[in-house]
Structure formats: C-alpha cells, structure tokens
Structure 1
Amino acid sequence: MSKYNFSAMPDAQGYFGEYGGQIIPPELQAVMNDIDRAYEEIRQTPEFQQELKTLFADYIGRPSPIFHARRLSNKLGGAQIFLKREDLNHTGAHKINHCLGEALLAKYMGKTKVIAETGAGQHGVALATACALVGIPCEIHMGQVDIEKEHPNVVKMKILGCDLIPVTRGTATLKDAVDSAFEEYLKDPQNFIYAIGSVVGPHPFPKMVRDFQSIIGAEAREQFLSRFNALPDYLVACVGGGCNAIGLFTAFLEDEAVQLIGVEPGGKGLDTGLHSATMTLGKPSSLHGMKCYVLETEDGEPMPVHSIASGLDYPGVGPQHCYLKDLGRAQYETATDQECLDAFMTLSRVEGIIPALESSHAVAWAIRNAPKLSPETRILVNISGRGDKDADYVANLLGL
C-alpha cells in the first residue's frame, strides 16, 4: 500500500499542498471559477469524453508507441533506455493533448476567441491546429527572440490561420509572452479564454492541463505492464512549466518503486546566472497567478532566465511539481546547454530520432546516468517533441 494519495489533488481552492491557488483579483477569480465549473461539468459528459477519445485516436494518432533504444543502450552500457514517442503525435509534440481539450472546452463554453502564449512554438502550433479543427479564432503571443529561433513553427502557425503577436518587451521570450497574452485576455475574459500552455497559472489550469496530459503516463503504464509485466524503474522528462513531465508522472505517483526525475535547464552553468533551474535554485514565491518556486532577483522580480530550449526558459514551474519536490516524491536535476546539444546529436545519429531541444535535456540525463545502473534497470524517457523546429538553429550553432 502506497504512503501517497494524490487522488484529491488539487484541493477545491486549487492548491497542491501550499502551491497553486488563485493569486489574482477577485473579479478574475470569478471568471476562473466559471471555467472550473464548466470544465468539471463538461468533462463528465459522454459527448465530450467520446469526442476527445476519438480525436486522440484518429486525429493525434494515440497511443504513442514506446521504443526500446537498443543501440543507445548498448553504446552506453548499463540500464536499458526506452522512449515514449510523443514526437510522433500530430503537430510533433505532447502539446496537442491539452490543446485539443482546451479548444473543445472553449467550443462547449461558447467562447469567441482563444488566446495563448508560446515559447518554442509547439504549444502555438498545437493550439492553432486545434482551433482550426473546431473553428474558433486563435491569437498566439510569442517572444521576438523565440520567433527568430523557431522559424518553422512560426510559419506553421501562420499557415494554420492564427493571429501571431510578436512580443518585444523585456527579454522577448516566454515569460514576456505570457504577460502579453494575459493582458489581452483581460480585455474580455467573458468571451475570450486563455489556453495556458503548461501546468501553470491560476487554478483550474494546472489541474486541467494535467488531466489532458495524463494520457501519456496512462498509456505508458499499460504498455510497460503488457510488455514486461513490470513498471519502469525511472521516468525521466524535461521540466520548464512541466506539463509533459506531469503527464508522464501522474499514472505512477503512487508507485513508490518508480523513481520520477524532472530535468530542467542548467543553461550555461548554474554559477553563471544563465539558466532556468527553477526547482534547483528558486524559492517559493508567486508568479502568473499561482504560488510556486520562482527564480527571482534581489528586488523580488522574476529573474531573466536562459535555456537553449525556448520551451523551457521560464522562471517558474507548475505547482504540483513544487509539491512533489517538497514531498520528496520526485527529484529535479539539471542538464546544461552543452549536454543538451550532445544528447540531441547522439540520439539523432545513434537511433535516427531527432528530439526537440527540450526533450534532449531528459535524454542527457539518461546518457549521463544509464552507465551507472545495472542492465536490468529500465529508464523511460519522454520524448516530448521532435526536433524539426530546432534543426536549422542547431545546424547553424554547430556549423553543420
């Protein structure tokens, strides 16, 4: 019997332990509570469940397979590495899982526009795709720095018909895109819906996005039990906001023998200030309507953060991850930009799989740790997205 019980998380106020909640003005709390009520009502209906199930299968292409990376495992020695292939989903990443859910929710609620931020562009592409499918206008805010790094995804968003808003304020990256999108949402929260791109923000979004993403771990658990009659020894996923990781972890939270590893960006080194290691070096504070670990300046402002992966350069993290860290149920470690690049190239050339730079952080952890573990050990790495969007950037960086 597990000593953990996560079934009641979050509580009615949206808290995971001391993290989460709604740190927003009362009038906005009322809007968020309306979304929560609609979500809890709609998600129980057979019509919503059937439509989402059908789209997961016939539109996204679920279940995503688990691949045994034999050549990589043999090259490293030690543990056997398996990959959960979210990169094979329609649109190329895990983001489509919750974007379809949020777009359907917007349709059922009669909203007139869906607004969101994006970092690497995967959430933007997925949401633009989902909104095209259900016929709702879509507006995506993206930092100018990320627009220049992630050109393929920018083009896809425009082709799909979304209104792309460049954000030039601050560091012109993910945190600034969130601020910009939220300001637009506040102009008409009754008719607009903000489709948050991760398990962050005010309640109910960390819960909603987790629920939609939990299909990853539910599938993986069933696939592993069917194949090995056993569970993985380690689950490994990159963490920025943390939605792909919580999606993988959720089905295994009460399996104490399964070790949960979140890998966040060490950037150019933890001693340089050029990183996004929120869980490693941050402290409890508030950001974007929630209480969570935050990287802050001495003045208490969110710190400018850095990662080679645009989808991970965020100074906060999902509240459930913060709770899991404090509880000791999950461990959070780092991988540097260089380790990430090395992992990107290694997986590409050894297994013929080009991972997203975000996912490459998790691959880097497996490459670093597999040789230390026994051959009977099984590591399951979430390949949260494919690296098409990063190919030109990496090629220029490495002079390929």
Structure 2
Amino acid sequence: MPLTIPAPLSALPFRRTALTLVIASLLVSCSGEKKDDKRPPTQVGYIVAQPSTVPVAVTLSGRTVAYETSEVRPQVTGVIVKRFFTEGTLVKAGQPLYQIDPSLYRAAVNQASADLASARATAEAAGAKAQRYKPLADMEAVAKQDYADALATARSAKASIAQNAATLDTAKINLRFTTVPAPISGRIGRSLITVGALASASQTDSLAVIQRMDPIYVDMQQSAAEITALRRKLAAGGVIPGSTTVHLTFDDGSQYALPGTVRFSEVTVDEGTGTVTLRAEFPNPDGLLLPGMFVSAVFDQANDPNAFLVPQNAVQRDFDGSAYVMVVGADGKAARRKIETNRTNGPNSVVTSGLQRGDKVIVQGLNGLKQGAEIKAVLSTAPQEVKPQSGKPGAAKGH
C-alpha cells in the first residue's frame, strides 16, 4: 500500500497568500469598472417663461328668457265668436287674434252717434236764438236777462256736442276692442280660451301668450363674492377688463353656434341666493333657443396681463396636491419650483405665481428627473432627441 506524503506545512501559507491576491485582483477589477461608470447628464428641453395676457374665463349657469313677452287680454267684455290664429305660429303686431261679439258695442256706437246729432241740432237752435236776442237786448226790446239766458243755453248746447262726441269716440274704441289684436310680434302659444267662452275686461287669466325669441336673453347667475373680488382686482390693476362676448354650451356638451353679448349686470344682490344676475343677448334666427332652457355661459370676464402659459405636461403635482415645475437652476442642474395654477388655456396651464420672466421651464425629458440632477438643457424648439433618464450604462457584471 502506497504511502501518502502530506504537503509540507510551509506550503499552506503560500496557498492562502495566492488566494488572497486573486480575490484582491478581482475586487480591484470590479472597483475599477464602477469608477469608470459615470452617468451622463440627462438631456432636457426647456422653454423660456414670458408673461402673457391671458383671459380669465368664467363659466356661469344661465337660463334663457324671451326678449319680449306679452299676455293677450281682452279690453271689453263679451262672448268669443271666432279665433283667427293657429297655435304655435308666428304672429305680427296688430294681427287679429280673437273676435268678441260686437253687437252691443255696435249699438252703443249708433246711439252715441244719434245723441251727437241731436246735440248739434239743439246747439244750432240755441245759437240762433241768442243771435236774435242780441240786437233786441241792445234796443231794450227784450230784457237783458232773457238775452243772457239764451246765450248760456247756446254755450251749454255746444258743450253737449263735445260730451256726445267723446261718448261716440268711446263707443267706437270699445267696438274696435271687440277684435283682439296681437300686441307684439312673436310666437304665440296655445289658446287659453275657446270659442263660445265669455271674456271679461277684468279677468285675471290671459287669452294667450306671445313671446319674441329673436333675439333672446340669457340670464346668468354669479356670486356676489366673485364679482367683488373681480372689481378689487380691476381697481388694483391686477387684471384688465375682458370681452363681453359670450358663448353658450348645452347640457349635452354641444355649443351654440352664434355668440352673444353681455348687456348689463343687476345692481342688487339676491338675498336668497347671494348672487347677481348678468344678462346677455343672443341672436336666435332659427328658434333653437327656447325660453326657460338651462345653459352654461362662458365668457372672458377679465384679462390677466402677468400670467405665464406652461404646457400642461410640464406641471406636476406633489402628494398634497400642490403644483410644481422643474426648471434649469442657476448651477445648471434641475430644480423644483412650486407654482400656483388653477385653470387652463387650451393645451397650457395658466401659472399665476411662482415663475419669473426668463425662467427656463423644463418641458421635455421629465421622466424620472429629480431635484439636483445633472442635465443638458436645450431649447425645446430646437431639433433634438430628448430621451428619458435611463439606468447605468456599462454596469459592472457580478463576479
């Protein structure tokens, strides 16, 4: 049986030393690769912040109101014998709508005409008598009192002519009122009375209602607090007056094609709602807008001359909901900047606080970009290829 000769004890330290040198060389190799692995700066695109005049648009709920509304009412009492219009159609001012039985009123005209003729005959006789008495009274052939009485009778007869003439005019007016006309032009609704019914001059119910809908009003409600704040900003010069042009949006999201104009604002606040009514006028040639419709009205109530427009994708939010953007810092690194924005304008967010003229707002390459990161900033309008931040290139392989 062969004998196994153990390695000399002096060889063991040599093996340990060799193993240590191999491990150390591997560590040096790995550490050398990490030292050479330096992350390149992230390329980002930026825009230069410049103040702009941005409209301050408001959206108010509103309700359409007819431009003119007239309740058709009878001026005399009588039975309705005819209706001249078709319900729901357009009528013109002065157009006959109803006919009230004119028999009694025609008879009153005839009587007043006869009374007037009688008064004229009486006045003619009284005047002639007074003229005959005048020379006789001068010659004292008749008593002066008789002449005075004849003269007074003649004057009274003339007054009676005027009275009967006024009675005749009244009778003719009442006869004319038996034909009930349209007081305004517009679209008439359903008839609230039928043929054969009794119409009274003192009745509380109307015969029909006519509404003029072209143009048409839209009454909008805005809180008194908002109006007060706007007036303070206008007085302080923070904003300037905007446009009076208004656009309407229906409940289904569609828009009314024709713009309107704000006409006036109420001078009192509704005690129940705390709002002020603003009235706008809209053309309505096709009758698309009907009185009583609920709509949303949008118009530029003011203009902010010191606002900044920043693309919406550049605005980010913290956990607490506050907004911020990334800017190119003075040291050339990425920096967070808190801003205030509460509305948009097209594809941009309107920044009212937090930015200064000339700030470089990063709008491209924001993915994974953090505070203090090394960046290579170029104008976003320049031809470029902005890539999101990636992992470490050439990472060391494990050994």
TM-score range for the pair, normalised by the shorter chain length = under 0.3
Higher helix share: 1
Higher strand share: 2
TM-score if structure 1 supplies the norm length?
A: 0.18
TM-score if structure 2 supplies the norm length?
A: 0.18
Higher relative contact order (Cα pairs below 8 Å, separated by 6+ residues): 2
